[in-house]
Structure 1
Amino acid sequence: MQTPDEPTWERLTQLTATTRSYAPTRFILAIASLVDADAIRGAVTTVDLAGPTVWTSVLVTDTALCRVSASFDAEHFDREEESQQQFRYNAPAMTLTEAWTRPLASVREISIADVSGEIDRQKWYRVAGMKLILDDGKQIELPDQGRLHDTREREQSDEFLTAVRRGVSF
């Protein structure tokens, strides 16, 4: 496939960024292989930097839901680490544990486990235990909004949920 152009690359970089890290190149390319960046209406991304680094993004368009999860055989592996000399020519192995796109209409349920007090008295409250349940029973856990300390991440989470709610068929 053709490498994404600069505006597409920048959009995917922003959609997959976390508070402290930018996603590795191969992770972004996996997403670009499955979904048109211009069609994305919302995205949530998490990263577990301990042990093998695991990056996971769930993205939504007007008609599709996309999930990509990749494990890298290195601790704390992100774009900054990727640019270091030791990884430039000897990148850690990446294993795609999930990489799919499904119709957004396959979401049959949106569930939450808890709603608690305000994070910011004027704007935010915490929603926890959020899940999307697909028509085949697959459950997609979404990040706990109470753990999102960055306003940009909270806004991104809200945009994602709004896009899902608008796109589901119930």
Structure 2
Amino acid sequence: MTDDNPGTLYVVATPIGNLDDLTARAARVLAQVSRVAAEDTRHSGRLLAHLGLNKPMLSLHEHNEARRVDTLDSYLAAGEDIALISDAGTPLISDPGFVLVRELRARNRHIVPIPGPCALITALSGAGMPTDRFVFAGFLPAKPGARRQALEGGKAAKRRWCFMNPPPYRAHP
């Protein structure tokens, strides 16, 4: 295939802890693509093995994302379909992928999101608090002073703020 019939980048949401939470559509997409761009290939390899899949993978994380754009674009130009996955949840939502998707959109590549688990929505659904309005602010800063400032800013704004915190995470059946 040539650039006249380019491939598609699928942005695929993956399970948060329980591999059985993967949607049937996501499993079909992972089975059909030529390769997988993954935040951590070791972690994502377990998901692919769970599905009985053996796909070429390449890492795509915050430290190499900008350098991977041209490589992935060349695969798409050759007609390959690619799945972008993160370690858990939806790529680009406090996970790598923004730089890639932005650049590929600028190059008029076809991008299809495949919905599924999202840590933010999952946390809100079990929080027991009103969820009609909230502000998502990503991960809290690692440094105590900056973390305190972010929390105080949220408190002063008198809104429901949702911050992501990195693990410890305990998977539940």
Which TM-score tier does this pair reach, normalised by the shorter chain?
under 0.3
Q: Which has the larger radius of gyration?
A: 2
Looking at secondary structure, tell me which structure has more strand per residue.
1
TM-score by length of 1: 0.24
Greater per-residue helix proportion = 2
